[in-house]
Amino acid sequence: MEDLWRVVRSIREAAAEAGVQVITGDTKVVDKGKGDGVFINTSGIGSVMPGLDVGPHRLRPGDEIVISGPIGLHGIAIMALREGIELETEVRSDSATVYPMVEALAAAGLEIHMLRDPTRGGVSSALNEMAKRAGVGVLLEEQAVPIPIEVEGVCEILGLDPLYVANEGNFLAIVARGQGERALETVRQHPLGARAALIGRVTAEHPGVVVMRTKIGGERIVDMMSGEQLPRIC
């Protein structure tokens, strides 16, 4: 019961912070030892912001790609907990509401062409799906991608690429050419966006393919994730 109340209080606080209401609930009974602690499923009801038209159909060569925060924290936090990996510093999930930052971007009058959450499959999957659906290419700058030191360290030990690790508290915003810096300034005004970064651009070259320019000046293809995501989150 102590754990249950802690979870319920956390939900209440998160809902209040996001300005949303929890309007119903349900519980399920499972066999003892089969529930793995607790599962929480949610469904959201909302409305599209007036005048906001986002999607792959809006993407154009020259568009600039902004990520609102550092990557890989959620997936690594879950993996470390499940696998009993001891780290020198605590890695906490970045799970949080990103709507205030999105609302600020829209209020700033920026020409937003696409928004995407890099959850399952990470940044790589989100950008690959976007590129394939829009028939455009994506060029990433490795040195610009914000990867926390602890995430980088665990990924090196386990042979993982941070670009494929799940996130829960950041988003990708693709804005029109020349508006990336303004979008960056807007997102950074929010505490969760303090480490936002301009990580690349949309290009007419190599349509449907994501390419990363490495720190040493070379280029490599960033493919879609193959096989099962580890850890399996959803």
Cis previous bond, 50, omega within 30: no
**CATH of 54-221 given 3.90.600.10, 3.40.630.30, 3.90.650.10, 3.40.50.12160:** 3.90.650.10
Q: Provide the residue-wise pLDDT of the chain in tens; the chain has 234 residues.
A: 898 899 999 999 999 988 899 998 888 888 887 777 778 888 889 888 888 899 999 999 999 999 999 999 999 888 878 777 777 777 888 888 999 999 999 999 999 999 999 998 899 999 999 999 999 999 999 999 999 988 988 888 878 899 999 999 999 999 999 999 999 999 999 999 999 999 999 999 999 999 999 999 899 999 987 666 555 555
Q: Give the list of residues 6+ apart from residue 196 with CB closer than 8 angstroms, or none.
A: 66, 67, 68, 69, 146, 184, 187, 188
CA-to-CA distance for 112 and 109, rounded, in angstroms? Answer: 9
Q: In sequence order, which ranges of 144-222 are alpha helices (DSSP H)?
A: 149-158, 180-188
pTM for the full predicted model: 0.86
Q: Where are the domains of the chain?
A: 54-221
Contacts of residues 13-16 at CB distance under 8 Å and 24 or more positions apart, as own/partner, are: 14/97
